[in-house]
C-alpha cells in the first residue's frame, strides 16, 4: 500500500500497534503535543520531537539559517507550551550538505539558542552528520510539569468554551507574501509584520504555563497545522464536536489590511494556515472567570458540543461544516 | 569556513559555545554517549539521539527495512548501555520518500520494536513526514539510572585496566562482504555470521547495567566508531593516555577465518571498523576481581597510562602510536 493512500495519521496508528503497548509510567504516549512520562511521584517529564526537511518544511529562498534556527526551536517549545509545561533541555540532530558553511550552521544556532536561552533551555546532546543534498534537522525538547497540571488534547467536554491566544493566519499570509515577492524589501510595515510572524513565531510558553497553573483549562493544543485541523484533533481525541463563530476568530490588523481587495478571504488563512504556534484550549463555563483574571491575550471563539462534527457559524447565524484543512504530509492537503 | 576543514567535533564545540552553559541539573551534556539529567534527588534521566540518513549511514543495496529498524534501535540502546542505564522510552522521526510502501515502514518497525520490546522500551512519540528523495531516520531513546551509577567517558585514571565486551571487527568485515558480494546467499557460515553482526548487532544493555551496578568501572563508552577512535574519546575526556596489546584484542573465529589469506589484516577491522556496539570500559586494579565475579564476556586489552598518547604494543613488545581512525562525518576518514 502506498503511504499516500493511508495518510500520516493512519500510518502512525499502524506504527503504534507494533510497539510495546502498556507502561504504567507513560501517562500520555503517541498522539498528543508531547509525551508525558512519570519520572517521580509528582514530576512529569514532557518530550516532543520534530523533523524539518529542506524543500519539504523549509526553503532557503524564503528563510535564512538564523530564522530557521529560531523556528525549529519555536515549533518544539510550542509543543511543551501546549502541555502546560516548562521547557528544560533540548537535543538537535543535523544532516548537513557540502554547500553549507560553518558560519551558516552557527547562524542557525544563533537563532535557535536566542529563543532557547530566553526559555532557559539547555542543549544537552544531538548528532551532527554529513548529508547528501539536503539539509535535515531534528529537534527534541524535554520539559516538565506536575502530575495534576498536564493538559492533554482529550479533556474537552460539551459546554466548555473554546479559546485561542493571539491572532490567527498571520504566518500563512507571511509565507504567501514571501512566495509572491522574494523577501521583505520594499514591502510595507503590514507585510513585514506578517513575514516576521512566519519566520520568527513566538511560542506561547508563558501563557501555556499560566493556564496550566490556574487549572482552568480542560484540554489544550498548539495551532501548528491550522485552526480547523488542530481543533479537529482536540474534538477527535476528546470525543466531542464544536461550534466556532467566524466573527470571533481573532484576525490581526495586518492580516485584515493584507487581505483587503484580495480574492483569498481572510478566514482562509486563519482556518487553514499553519505555523501560527498559538494555543487553542477549552475552559469549563465555571472557570472562564478565573481565565479572565489572568489577563492573557486570549479570545473566546466558540463552544464544545456533543457529537463529532465541527461547525462554523457566520455573522448571520448560518452554519456550515468545518473540515480539517491542515497539513497531512502524505495526503498533501496542505493549503497554506 | 567549510565544515570539512573544521571537522565534526570542531563544529560540535562551536555549537556548544552558543548554548546556555550551565544547568545544575544537567550532570552530563554534549560529548558523552548520552546526556545525564537529574530529574529527582536520586534518579537520573539519560537521553541519546541518532540520525540515520540514506546513502550516508545506510544503503538499501546492503540492508532491508527490518534490519535497518533493528540497527536504529541497537545504536541508541547501545548509548544507554554505555552510561550503565536502563532504556525506558523511545521516539522516532522519519522522512519517507514516495517510493517507500506502508509494508516497508511496518517492516522497519517490526525490526525496531523486536529489539525495543526485548528491552521493555516503549515508543511514546515522534514525527512522520514526507521526504523528497531519501529516507531520513532520527531516533531518541530515554533511559534511567541512579546518581551514583552514571558511567561517563571521563573517569579513566592511570593504572586502570581497559576491557571490552565481545569481539571486535565483525561488523566491519560483514559490511565488506556485503559490499563485495550482494547478500549472504551462497556464502559460508562464517560470512553469514559476520553479515549478521553487521545487520543485527546486539547492544550490550545487560552487560552495561551489570557493570554499573557492580560499581567496578571508572569510565565506559560504546564502540560505534571503532576501537581506536572510541578509546581516543575516553582518553581525551579523561585526560589520560593508554597502551593496548594487539594480541589481546578479541577477534572472533569467523573474522579470523574470513581474514585468512586476505591483504587486509584482521586488526584493521578490529581497530578501525565501526558499528560493533560492544562496550569499552576501564576498571581500577583493585576492582578487576569484582568484575571477573560477574562472569561477563569481557577481555582485558590494555592499561590506562599518564599522558595523552595511545600506543599499540604487538606480541614482540614493539610499540606504535595508535591514532583514531574511526568516522568523522565531515573529514571523511571513515575506513570501515
The C-alpha of A29 sits at a distance from chain B's nearest C-alpha, in angstroms, of 4
Please tell me if residue B59 touches chain A, with a CB cutoff of 8 Å.
no
What mean pLDDT comes out for the span A145-165? 96
With a cut of 60, say whether residue A332 has pLDDT above it. no
What is the predicted pLDDT for the residue at A328? 62
Q: Is A227 exposed, middle or buried (0-12, 13-18, 19+ CB in 10 A)?
A: buried
**pLDDT tens by residue, B154-166:** 999 999 999 999 9
What is the predicted pLDDT for the residue at A300? 98
What is the predicted pLDDT for the residue at A333? 39
Please tell me which of the candidates A35, A124, A131 has its beta carbon nearest to residue B26: A124
pLDDT band for A334, please (50, 70, 90 cuts): very low
The C-alpha of A237 sits at a distance from chain B's nearest C-alpha, in angstroms, of 16
Is A123's CB within 8 Å of B94's CB? no
- Select from B111, B107, B135, B140 the least CA-distant residue to B124: B140
Please tell me if residue B228 touches chain A, with a CB cutoff of 8 Å.
no
- Select from A330, A254, A333 the least CA-distant residue to A14: A330
pLDDT band for B333, please (50, 70, 90 cuts): very low
The single-letter DSSP state of residue A2 is: B
Is B14's CB within 8 Å of A144's CB? no
Please tell me which of the candidates A18, A120, A123 has its beta carbon nearest to residue B30: A123
What mean pLDDT comes out for the span B251-275? 87
The stretches of A182-320 forming alpha helices (DSSP H) are 189-199, 205-214, 227-238, 253-259, 266-272, 288-293
The residues, ordered by sequence, that sit 6+ positions from B140 with a Cβ below 8 Å of its Cβ are A47, A49, A91, A140, B47, B48, B49, B76, B90, B91, B92
What is the predicted pLDDT for the residue at A336? 30
Nearest chain A residue (CA) to B3: A102
With a cut of 90, say whether residue B336 has pLDDT above it. no
What is the predicted pLDDT for the residue at A182? 55
**pLDDT tens by residue, B191-217:** 999 999 999 999 999 999 999 999 999
Is A20's CB within 8 Å of B48's CB? no
The C-alpha of B20 sits at a distance from chain A's nearest C-alpha, in angstroms, of 5
Please tell me which of the candidates B29, B50, B130 has its beta carbon nearest to residue A124: B29
What mean pLDDT comes out for the span A316-331? 80
Please tell me if residue A17 touches chain B, with a CB cutoff of 8 Å.
no
Fold of the domain built from segment(s) B3-149: 60s Ribosomal Protein L30; Chain: A; (3.30.1330)
What mean pLDDT comes out for the span A64-68? 97
Q: Which of B122, B224, B274 to mutate to test the interface with A (most CBs of A within 10 A)?
A: B122
As a whole number, the mean pLDDT across chain B is 91
Would you tell me the crossing angle of helices B102-118 and A3-18 to the nearest 10 degrees?
10
Nearest chain A residue (CA) to B125: A30
What is the predicted pLDDT for the residue at A185? 62
Identify which of A179-193, A254-268, B182-196 has the greatest average pLDDT.
A254-268
Domain ranges for chain A: 3-149, 161-321
Q: Please list every residue in chain B whose beta carbon sits closer than 8 Å to the beta carbon of residue A47.
A: 89, 91, 124-125, 140, 142
What is the predicted pLDDT for the residue at A216? 96
Is A128's CB within 8 Å of B101's CB? no
Q: Please list every residue in chain B whose beta carbon sits closer than 8 Å to the beta carbon of residue A55.
A: 132
Please tell me if residue B131 touches chain A, with a CB cutoff of 8 Å.
yes
Kindly report the number of other CB atoms within 10 A of residue A104's CB atom: 17
Nearest chain A residue (CA) to B99: A2
The single-letter DSSP state of residue A147 is: G
Q: Give me A77's grid cell.
A: 517549545
- CA–CA dist A277, B321 (Å, integer): 54
What mean pLDDT comes out for the span A176-194? 80
Length of chain A: 336
The residues, ordered by sequence, that sit 6+ positions from A212 with a Cβ below 8 Å of its Cβ are A83, A84, A85, A145, A149, A150, A151, A220
**pLDDT tens by residue, B73-93:** 999 999 999 999 999 999 999
Residues 163-202 of A with CB under 8 A from B: none
With a cut of 50, say whether residue B334 has pLDDT above it. no
* Helix/strand/coil (H/E/C) assignment for every residue in chain B: CEHHHHHHHHHHHHHHHHCCCCCCCEEECCCCCCEEEECCCCEEEEEEEEEEEECCCECCCCCCHHHHHHHHHHHHHHHHHHCCCEEEEEEEEEEECCCCEHHHHHHHHHHHHHHHHHCCCEEEEEEEEECCCCCEEEEEEEEEEEHHHCCCCCCCCCCCEEEEECCCCHHHHHHHHHHHHCCCCCCCHHHHHHHHHHHCCCCCHHHHHHHHHHCCCCEEEEECCCHHHHHHHHHHHHCCEEEEEHHHCCCCHHHHHHHCCCCCCHHHHHHHCCCCCEEEEEECHHHHHHHHHCCCCEEEEEEEECCCCEEEECCCCCEEECCCCCCCCCCCCCCC
pTM: 0.93
Please tell me if residue B310 touches chain A, with a CB cutoff of 8 Å.
no
Q: Please list every residue in chain B whose beta carbon sits closer than 8 Å to the beta carbon of residue A145.
A: none
Chain pair A-B, CB pairs under 8 angstroms: 265
Q: Please list every residue in chain B whose beta carbon sits closer than 8 Å to the beta carbon of residue A37.
A: 88-89, 124, 142
The C-alpha of B2 sits at a distance from chain A's nearest C-alpha, in angstroms, of 5
The C-alpha of A286 sits at a distance from chain B's nearest C-alpha, in angstroms, of 33
pLDDT band for A335, please (50, 70, 90 cuts): very low
Is B18's CB within 8 Å of A124's CB? no
Interior/surface letters A105-134, b for 16+ CB within 10 angstroms, e for the rest: bbbbbebbbebbbebebbbbbbbbbbbeeb
Q: Which of A16, A20, A27, A34 to mutate to test the interface with B (most CBs of B within 10 A)?
A: A20
What is the predicted pLDDT for the residue at A104? 96
**pLDDT tens by residue, A218-252:** 999 999 999 999 999 999 999 999 999 999 999 99
The C-alpha of B276 sits at a distance from chain A's nearest C-alpha, in angstroms, of 19
CATH class of the structural domain B161-321: alpha beta
Residues 64-123 of A with CB under 8 A from B: 88-89, 91-96, 98, 100-103, 105-106, 109-110, 113, 116-117, 120-123
Amino acid at each position: 500500500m502506498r503511504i499516500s493512500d493511508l495518510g500520516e495519521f493512519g500510518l502512525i496508528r499502524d506504527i503504534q500497534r507494533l510497539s510495546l503497548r502498556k507502561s504504567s509510567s507513560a501517562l500520555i504516549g503517541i498522539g498528543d503535543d508531547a509525551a508525558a512520562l512519570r519520572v517521580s511521584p509528582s514530576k512529569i517529564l514532557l518530550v516532543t520531537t520534530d523533523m524539518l526537511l529542506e524543500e519539504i518544511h523549509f526553503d532557503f529562498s524564503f528563510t535564512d539559517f538564523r530564522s530557521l534556527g529560531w523556528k525549529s526551536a519555536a515549533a518544539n517549545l510550542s509543543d511543551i507550551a501546549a502541555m502546560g509545561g516548562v521547557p528544560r533541555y533540548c537535543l538537535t540532530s543535523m544532516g548537513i550538505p557540502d554547500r553549507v558553511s560553518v558560519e551558516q550552521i552557527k547562524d542557525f544556532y544563533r537563532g535557535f539558542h536566542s529563543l532557547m536561552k530566553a526559555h532557559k533551555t539547555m542543549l544537552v546532546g544531538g548528532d551532527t552528520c554529513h548529508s547528501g543534498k539536503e539539509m535535515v534537522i531534528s529537534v527534541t525538547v524535554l520539559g516538565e510539569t506536575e502530575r495534576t497540571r498536564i493538559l492533554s488534547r482529550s479533556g474537552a467536554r460539551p459546554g466548555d468554551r473554546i479559546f485561542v491566544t493571539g491572532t490567527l493566519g498571520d504566518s500563512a499570509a507571511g509565507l504567501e507574501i514571501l512566495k509572491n515577492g522574494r523577501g521583505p524589501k520594499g514591502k510595507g510595515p503590514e507585510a513585514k509584520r506578517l513575514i516576521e510572524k512566519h519566520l520568527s513565531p513566538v511560542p506561547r510558553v508563558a501563557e501555556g504555563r499560566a493556564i496550566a497553573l490556574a487549572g482552568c483549562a480542560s484540554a489544550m493544543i498548539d495551532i501548528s497545522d491550522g485552526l480547523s485541523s488542530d481543533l479537529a484533533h482536540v474534538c477527535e481525541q476528546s470525543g466531542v464536536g464544536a461550534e466556532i463563530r467566524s466573527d470571533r476568530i481573532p484576525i490581526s490588523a495586518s492580516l485584515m489590511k493584507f487581505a483587503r481587495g484580495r480574492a483569498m478571504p481572510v478566514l482562509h488563512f486563519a482556518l487553514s494556515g499553519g505555523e501560527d504556534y498559538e494555543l487553542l484550549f477549552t475552559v469549563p463555563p465555571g472557570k472562564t472567570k478565573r481565565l479572565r483574571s489572568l489577563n492573557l491575550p486570549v479570545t473566546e471563539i466558540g463552544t464544545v458540543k456533543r457529537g463529532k462534527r465541527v461547525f462554523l457559524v457566520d455573522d448571520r447565524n448560518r452554519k456550515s461544516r468545518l473540515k480539517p484543512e491542515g497539513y497531512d504530509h502524505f495526503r498533501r492537503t496542505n493549503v497554506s
